[in-house]
C-alpha cells in the first residue's frame, strides 16, 4: 500500500516537473516572439521612414525658393521700374536687460554705456539714456541703425544691446513723391498715399511678389519738385504744388506738394506736412478758369467771332456788385486780348452770354461738383454753388471765383481743353502702351483746336511769357487769385497758378505749378502774381523733362496762330 | 551540410533581395544628398539675391534724385540743353560734318544749327576751401609729376595736398 503511495507521489512529481518545463519553454518562446516582434516593428518603422523620405519629403524646390524670395510687403516701382518703396531688412537696436541672466544687466554700468552710445548717435541725450538703461525695462533704443553703427556698438561689449533684424519699409528716394506714396505705420498697414490704396495687394501672399507699378516717372518727379522748391524759396511762399499729367491717358507722371515729409521717418515736423495741397485743398483758382469759360462760349456758339470787341473801360456793375480789372486795358477788348491781359470784365460778359445753365453743365461735365478722380484717399470736396446759378454767380465763376476746386480738377480740365475735348480721370497706375482710356466728350475738337491757339498766344504775347521755353511750344494761362479771408478777399495773400500744356502743336502733357501765398521778393521783381513766380517754374521744368518724355525742342516749329495774332493790339500783358 | 536545390534557390532569392535592398538604400541616400545640395544652392541663391537687393537699394539711395540734384548744384551745374543744341534730322546732321570738295558748288542750306558756344563750364569748386580747384597751388610750388615706375612706389607716395587744405581751413 505504502509502495503504491510512494510511486503515485513520484509520478505526480514527474508530471509537475514536465509541466514546469513546458511552461518555462512556452514563456521563453513567448519572450523570444516579443523580441522578434519588437525588432520587426523597428525594421518596419525604419523602412516606412525611408520610403517616406524617398517619396514624400521635400516639396518642389521652386516653391521653396519663391517663398523665400517673397518680400514681406510688395515693392512699389515707378513706370520705368525704379523702386520707390521696398521691404528692406533693417537692423534695430534693442535693449534686453535679461540677456546676462541674474545680476546687473550691464557690464560697464548705465552711465558708461550711455556715453558710449552717444558717441555713436550724437543726437541722443546722455541723461535720458542713462535713466532708460538703469530702469531695466526692455525696449527699442533705436528703430533703424546702419551696419557700421551696429559694429561700433558691438565694440562696446554689452550683451544686453541686441540687434534684431526687422523688415522695414524703405523709400530709397527719401522725401520724393511722399504724398503719392504715403508711408507704412507701425501696425504694418499703409497710410495716406498708394501704400494705403494698394495695402491689400501689397500684403497678400498671392499678389505681393509682383511690384505695384505707378504712372510716376522718378526723373520728372525729381525735376518738378526741384524747380517747385526753388520757386517756393525765391518767392518766399508758404507752400507749392504741381503736376505733370498725360493728356491722352490721364496718367500722372509727377505730383508734388511742398513742403513735403520723409516717409522713412515720420516725426513731428513731417506729420504736419502730410496734407496734400494738390488733391485735398480746394482753392478759388482765379484767372486760370477763364479759358474754360471761353471754351464753353466757343463750343456753344456764343463766341463765333474772335475779333468781336467787348467793353472793358469801366467796372461792370451787376446786382450791386462791381467787377474790376487790375488795371485799365482801354475801352474794349476782343477774346484773345481779354485772355492775354486776363480781363475779368470781358470774361464776366462772356460768361453771362453763355448763361448759368450751360456754364454749370460744362463745369459738371468736368467733374467740378465732385471730389477729383484719382486713387489717392486724400481728395478734397469742391465748394460748389448750390442750386440754379444766379447771374452774378455765373459771372464770378466765369473768371474763377465763387467756385473752389482742387488743382487736380484744373489739371484734368486743361487736359480736356487741349487734347481734342475729351475729359479723362487722372490715374496713378501705369496704363499699358496702346490702351485707349475711356473718357467723356466735353468740347468739340474744333473748340479744343482754337483753345490751343489761344493758350499759345498767352505765352507768346501775354502774362505767360516767362514760361516760354524756346522750342517747346508751351501754352498756358496764369492765375493769381486772392484768398478769401475775414469779410472779403485778402489782397496780400494770393494763390498763384500757372496751368500749361506742351507742345501746343500736338499736346502731350499738362503741367501745373501753384504757389500758396507767394511774397514779392527781389527774385520775383517785387511781384506776387503768377506771371512772375509760377510761370518761370514751368519755363524751367519743361526743358528738363521734355526730352525725357520724348518732346524734343524745335525752334522752327509751332502751332499756327497767324489768324489770331493780328487781333492782338499791343501784346504787352500785365 | 548538404544543400538541396530548393534551399539553394531560396538562398539565391534572399541574396538577390538583400542586394536590391542595399542598392535601393544607396540610391535613396544619393537622391537625398543631391536634394540637400539643391537646397543649399537655393539658400545661396536667396542669400545672393538679398545681397543684390541690399546693394541695389543702397545704390538707389545714394543716387536718389535729391542727392543727384545737390551734387549737380555743388559740383557740375549742368543745365537742360537748349533748343539750338538739338539736331532736327539727318539732313542737318549731314550738313554739320561734310567737308566741301574743291570747286564744289555751295551746298543748299535748308536749316542749320547755331554753332555751339565754347565750352563754358563753371569752375570746379573745392568743398573744403571754397576756392576754385585751379587756384589751389600746394605750398612749395606745383606738384611734381609722378615719375615712379612701379605701382607700389606710386601708392606709397605721400600727397602733400591734405596738409595744405588743413592750413587753408585754419585760415
B43 interaction partners in chain A (CB closer than 8 Å): 68
Chain B interface test: which of A44, A47, A52, A54 (most B C-beta within 10 Å): A54
B49 inside 8 A of chain A by CB:
yes
Between β-strands A83-95 and A76-77, what pairing exists: parallel, antiparallel or unpaired?
antiparallel
Backbone angles phi, psi at A170, to 5 degrees: -125, 140
Under a CB-based contact definition with an 8 Å cutoff, are residues A241 and A260 in contact? Answer: no
Whole-number Å distance between alpha carbons of B102 and B114: 25
A227 inside 8 A of chain B by CB:
no
Whole-number Å distance between alpha carbons of A506 and A512: 18
B52 inside 8 A of chain A by CB:
no
Helical residues (DSSP H) of A300-427, grouped into ranges: 335-341, 344-354, 356-365, 391-398, 407-418
Helical residues (DSSP H) of B63-160, grouped into ranges: 65-71, 90-97, 151-156
A468 inside 8 A of chain B by CB:
no
Output the nine-digit C-alpha cell for A465.
511769357
pLDDT digits (tens, 9 = 90+) for B91-101: 778 777 767 77
Instruction: Compute, in degrees rounded to 10, the torsion defined by CA atoms B48, B49, B50, B55.
Output: 90
pLDDT grade for B140, boundaries at 50, 70 and 90: low
Whole-number Å distance between alpha carbons of A495 and A483: 7
Whole-number Å distance between alpha carbons of B105 and A56: 86
What pLDDT is stored for residue B164 in this prediction? 43
pLDDT digits (tens, 9 = 90+) for A34-44: 999 999 999 99
pLDDT digits (tens, 9 = 90+) for A352-362: 999 999 999 99
B66:A53 CB<8 A: no
Whole-number Å distance between alpha carbons of B11 and B5: 10
3-state SS, residue B36: helix
B32 inside 8 A of chain A by CB:
yes
Measured CA distances, A460 to A289, A336, A528 (Å):
19, 12, 21
Q: Mean of the pLDDT values across residues A85-98?
A: 88
Report which secondary-structure segment, H or E, holds A83. Answer: strand A83-95
Instruction: Compute, in degrees rounded to 10, the torsion defined by CA atoms A19, A25, A30, A34.
Output: 150
A83 inside 8 A of chain B by CB:
yes
What pLDDT is stored for residue A387 in this prediction? 86
What pLDDT is stored for residue A6 in this prediction? 55
pLDDT grade for A426, boundaries at 50, 70 and 90: very high
Burial class (CB in 10 A: 0-12, 13-18, 19+), A262: middle
B81 inside 8 A of chain A by CB:
yes
Whole-number Å distance between alpha carbons of A236 and A379: 26
CB atoms within 10 A of CB A478: 32
Interface size between A and B, measured as CB pairs under 8 A: 87
Nearest residue of B to residue A170 by CA position?
Answer: B57
What pLDDT is stored for residue A534 in this prediction? 93
Which one is predicted more confidently, A499 or A313?
Answer: A499
Whole-number Å distance between alpha carbons of A311 and A574: 18
What pLDDT is stored for residue A572 in this prediction? 43
Q: Mean of the pLDDT values across residues A102-113?
A: 86
What pLDDT is stored for residue B105 in this prediction? 79
Under a CB-based contact definition with an 8 Å cutoff, are residues A513 and A534 in contact? Answer: yes
Output the nine-digit C-alpha cell for A533.
513766380
Bridge partner list, A318? A321
Nearest residue of A to residue B44 by CA position?
Answer: A65
A554:B83 CB<8 A: yes
pLDDT grade for B139, boundaries at 50, 70 and 90: low
Report CA Rg, chain A: 39
pLDDT grade for A146, boundaries at 50, 70 and 90: confident
What pLDDT is stored for residue A551 in this prediction? 92
* Residue B127 C-alpha, separation from nearest chain A C-alpha, in angstroms: 22
Under a CB-based contact definition with an 8 Å cutoff, are residues A65 and B45 in contact? Answer: yes
From the candidates A215, A235, A257, A287, which is the catalytic residue? Answer: A287
3-state SS, residue B57: helix
3-state SS, residue A144: strand
B53:A86 CB<8 A: yes
The secondary structure of B116-143 as a DSSP string is PPPP-PPPPB-TTT-SBGGG---TTSSP
Measured CA distances, B81 to A225, A244, A328, A540, A553 (Å):
19, 20, 40, 11, 9
CA angle A415, A538, B124 (to 5 degrees): 145
Output the nine-digit C-alpha cell for B30.
544619393
Query: CA torsion sign, A47 to A52 to A58 to A60?
Result: positive
> Can you tell me the ipTM of this complex?
0.74
pTM of the model: 0.76
What pLDDT is stored for residue B146 in this prediction? 46
Output the nine-digit C-alpha cell for A433.
502702351
B57:A88 CB<8 A: yes
Q: What is the DSSP letter of A548?
A: G
- Selecting from B45, B57, B69 the residue whose C-beta is nearest the C-beta of A86 gives B57
What pLDDT is stored for residue A1 in this prediction? 47
- Selecting from B42, B60, B88 the residue whose C-beta is nearest the C-beta of A64 gives B42
B28:A53 CB<8 A: yes
Chain B interface test: which of A57, A66, A68, A181 (most B C-beta within 10 Å): A68
In the block, cell 552710445 appears at A117
Q: Where are the beta strands (DSSP E) in A434-541?
A: 440-441, 475-485, 488-502, 509-516
pLDDT digits (tens, 9 = 90+) for A373-412: 999 998 999 999 988 899 999 999 999 998 999 999 999 9
pLDDT digits (tens, 9 = 90+) for A258-273: 999 999 888 777 888 8
pLDDT > 50? residue B162: no
pLDDT > 70? residue A8: no
pLDDT > 90? residue B124: no
What pLDDT is stored for residue B148 in this prediction? 45
Chain A interface test: which of B80, B85, B91, B114 (most A C-beta within 10 Å): B80
Nearest residue of A to residue B67 by CA position?
Answer: A173
Nearest residue of A to residue B31 by CA position?
Answer: A54
pLDDT > 80? residue A50: no
CB atoms within 10 A of CB A460: 21
Under a CB-based contact definition with an 8 Å cutoff, are residues A158 and A110 in contact? Answer: no
B65:A222 CB<8 A: yes
Measured CA distances, A164 to A101, A454, A513, A569 (Å):
19, 62, 45, 73
Chain B interface test: which of A73, A175, A226, A540 (most B C-beta within 10 Å): A226
Under a CB-based contact definition with an 8 Å cutoff, are residues A509 and A551 in contact? Answer: yes
In the block, cell 510512494 appears at A6
pLDDT > 60? residue A3: no
Measured CA distances, A385 to A58, A345, A390, A396, A555 (Å):
68, 21, 10, 11, 44
B64:A82 CB<8 A: no
The answer for residues whose C-beta is within 8 angstroms of residue A479's C-beta and 6 or more apart is: A285, A286, A287, A288, A289, A342, A400, A495, A496, A497, A498, A499, A530
Whole-number Å distance between alpha carbons of A360 and A424: 19
B35 inside 8 A of chain A by CB:
yes
What pLDDT is stored for residue A15 in this prediction? 83
pLDDT > 50? residue B171: no
In the block, cell 469801366 appears at A314
Under a CB-based contact definition with an 8 Å cutoff, are residues A464 and A477 in contact? Answer: yes
A172:B88 CB<8 A: no
The answer for residues whose C-beta is within 8 angstroms of residue A92's C-beta and 6 or more apart is: A140, A142, A143, A144, A145, A163, A164, A165, A166
pLDDT grade for B163, boundaries at 50, 70 and 90: very low
Share of chain A above pLDDT 90, in %: 62
What pLDDT is stored for residue B112 in this prediction? 60
A89:B50 CB<8 A: yes
Output the nine-digit C-alpha cell for A98.
535679461
Q: Mean of the pLDDT values across residues A112-135?
A: 90
What pLDDT is stored for residue B132 in this prediction? 66
Return the minimum-mean-pLDDT range out of A84-93, A457-466, A515-524, B142-151. B142-151
- Selecting from A58, A176, A556 the residue whose C-beta is nearest the C-beta of B111 gives A556
Chain B interface test: which of A171, A173, A537, A549 (most B C-beta within 10 Å): A173
pLDDT > 90? residue B90: no
Q: At what angle do helices A290-299 and A391-398 cross, to 10 degrees?
A: 110
Q: Mean of the pLDDT values across residues A185-192?
A: 88
pLDDT > 50? residue A571: no
Nearest residue of B to residue A173 by CA position?
Answer: B64
Measured CA distances, A381 to A3, A26, A393 (Å):
128, 96, 19
B86 inside 8 A of chain A by CB:
yes
Output the nine-digit C-alpha cell for B109.
542750306
pLDDT digits (tens, 9 = 90+) for A206-256: 888 899 999 999 999 999 999 999 999 999 999 999 999 999 999 999 999
A226:B39 CB<8 A: no
B50 inside 8 A of chain A by CB:
yes
pLDDT > 50? residue B167: no
A68 interaction partners in chain B (CB closer than 8 Å): 42-43, 46
Q: Alpha carbon A544 to chain centroid distance?
A: 21
* Residue A211 C-alpha, separation from nearest chain B C-alpha, in angstroms: 14
A257 is a catalytic site residue: no
Q: Mean of the pLDDT values across residues B124-146?
A: 61
B93 inside 8 A of chain A by CB:
no
* Residue A549 C-alpha, separation from nearest chain B C-alpha, in angstroms: 13
3-state SS, residue A15: helix
Amino acid at each position: 500500500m505504502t509502495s503504491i503511495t510512494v510511486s503515485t507521489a513520484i509520478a505526480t512529481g514527474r508530471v509537475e516537473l514536465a509541466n514546469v518545463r513546458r511552461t518555462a519553454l512556452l514563456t521563453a518562446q513567448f519572450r523570444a516572439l516579443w523580441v522578434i516582434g519588437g525588432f520587426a516593428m523597428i525594421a518596419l518603422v525604419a523602412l516606412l521612414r525611408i520610403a517616406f523620405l524617398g517619396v514624400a519629403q521635400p516639396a518642389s524646390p521652386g516653391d521653396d525658393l519663391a517663398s523665400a524670395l517673397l518680400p514681406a510687403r510688395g515693392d512699389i516701382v515707378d513706370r520705368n521700374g525704379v523702386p520707390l518703396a521696398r521691404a528692406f531688412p533693417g537692423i534695430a537696436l534693442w535693449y534686453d536687460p535679461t540677456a546676462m541672466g541674474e545680476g546687473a544687466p550691464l557690464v560697464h554700468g548705465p552711465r558708461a554705456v550711455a556715453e558710449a552710445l552717444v558717441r555713436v548717435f550724437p543726437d541722443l541725450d546722455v541723461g535720458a539714456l542713462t535713466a532708460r538703461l538703469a530702469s531695466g525695462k526692455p525696449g527699442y533704443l533705436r528703430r533703424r541703425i546702419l551696419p557700421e553703427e551696429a559694429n561700433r556698438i558691438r565694440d562696446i561689449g554689452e550683451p544686453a544691446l541686441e540687434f534684431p533684424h526687422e523688415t522695414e519699409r524703405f523709400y530709397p528716394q527719401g522725401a520724393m513723391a511722399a504724398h503719392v506714396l504715403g508711408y507704412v505705420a507701425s501696425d504694418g498697414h499703409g497710410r495716406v498715399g498708394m501704400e494705403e490704396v494698394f495695402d491689400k495687394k501689397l500684403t497678400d501672399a498671392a499678389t505681393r511678389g509682383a511690384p505695384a507699378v505707378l504712372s510716376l516717372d522718378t526723373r520728372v518727379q525729381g525735376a518738378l519738385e526741384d524747380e517747385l522748391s526753388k520757386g517756393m524759396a525765391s518767392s518766399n511762399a508758404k507752400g507749392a504744388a504741381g503736376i505733370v499729367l498725360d493728356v491722352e491717358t490721364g496718367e500722372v507722371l509727377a505730383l508734388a506738394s511742398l513742403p513735403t515729409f520723409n516717409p522713412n521717418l515720420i516725426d513731428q515736423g513731417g506729420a504736419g506736412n502730410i496734407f496734400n495741397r494738390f488733391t485735398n485743398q480746394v482753392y478759388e483758382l482765379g484767372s486760370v478758369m477763364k479759358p474754360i469759360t471761353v471754351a464753353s462760349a466757343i463750343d456753344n456758339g456764343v463766341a463765333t467771332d474772335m475779333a468781336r470787341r467787348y467793353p472793358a473801360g469801366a467796372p461792370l456793375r451787376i446786382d450791386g456788385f462791381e467787377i474790376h480789372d487790375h488795371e485799365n486795358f482801354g475801352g474794349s477788348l476782343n477774346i484773345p486780348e481779354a485772355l492775354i491781359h486776363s480781363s475779368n470784365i470781358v470774361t464776366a460778359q462772356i460768361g453771362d452770354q453763355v448763361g448759368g445753365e450751360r456754364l454749370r453743365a460744362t463745369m459738371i461735365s468736368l467733374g467740378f461738383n465732385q471730389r477729383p478722380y484719382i486713387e489717392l484717399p486724400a481728395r478734397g470736396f469742391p465748394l460748389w454753388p448750390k442750386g440754379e446759378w444766379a447771374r452774378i454767380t455765373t459771372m464770378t465763376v466765369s473768371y474763377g471765383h465763387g467756385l473752389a476746386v482742387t488743382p487736380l480738377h484744373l489739371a484734368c480740365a486743361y487736359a480736356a481743353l487741349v487734347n481734342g475735348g475729351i475729359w479723362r480721370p487722372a490715374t496713378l497706375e501705369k496704363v499699358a502702351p496702346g490702351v485707349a482710356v475711356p473718357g467723356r466728350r466735353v468740347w468739340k475738337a474744333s473748340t479744343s483746336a482754337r483753345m490751343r491757339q489761344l493758350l499759345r498766344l498767352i505765352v507768346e504775347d501775354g502774362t505767360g511769357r516767362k514760361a516760354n521755353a524756346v522750342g517747346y511750344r508751351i501754352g498756358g494761362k496764369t492765375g493769381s487769385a486772392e484768398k478769401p479771408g475775414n469779410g472779403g478777399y485778402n489782397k496780400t495773400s494770393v494763390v498763384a497758378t500757372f496751368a500749361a500744356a506742351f507742345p501746343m502743336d500736338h499736346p502731350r502733357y499738362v503741367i501745373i505749378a501753384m504757389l500758396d501765398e507767394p511774397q514779392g521778393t527781389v527774385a520775383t521783381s517785387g511781384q506776387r502774381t503768377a506771371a512772375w513766380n509760377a510761370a518761370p517754374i514751368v519755363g524751367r521744368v519743361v526743358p528738363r523733362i521734355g526730352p525725357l518724355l520724348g518732346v524734343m525742342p524745335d525752334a522752327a516749329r509751332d502751332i499756327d496762330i497767324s489768324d489770331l495774332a493780328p487781333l492782338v493790339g499791343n501784346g504787352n500783358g500785365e | 551540410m548538404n544543400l538541396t536545390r530548393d534551399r539553394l534557390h531560396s538562398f539565391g532569392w534572399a541574396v538577390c533581395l538583400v542586394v536590391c535592398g542595399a542598392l535601393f538604400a544607396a540610391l535613396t541616400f544619393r537622391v537625398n544628398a543631391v536634394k540637400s545640395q539643391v537646397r543649399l544652392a537655393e539658400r545661396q541663391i536667396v542669400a545672393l539675391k538679398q545681397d543684390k537687393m541690399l546693394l541695389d537699394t543702397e545704390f538707389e539711395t545714394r543716387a536718389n534724385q535729391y542727392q543727384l540734384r545737390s551734387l549737380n548744384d555743388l559740383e557740375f551745374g549742368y543745365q537742360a540743353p537748349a533748343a539750338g543744341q538739338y539736331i532736327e534730322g539727318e539732313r542737318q546732321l549731314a550738313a554739320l560734318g561734310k567737308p566741301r570738295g574743291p570747286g564744289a558748288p555751295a551746298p543748299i542750306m535748308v536749316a542749320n544749327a547755331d554753332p555751339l558756344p565754347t565750352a563754358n563750364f563753371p569752375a570746379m569748386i573745392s568743398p573744403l576751401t571754397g576756392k576754385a580747384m585751379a587756384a589751389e597751388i600746394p605750398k612749395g610750388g606745383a606738384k611734381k609729376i609722378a615719375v615712379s615706375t612701379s605701382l607700389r612706389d606710386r601708392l606709397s607716395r605721400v600727397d602733400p595736398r591734405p596738409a595744405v587744405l588743413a592750413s587753408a581751413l585754419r585760415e
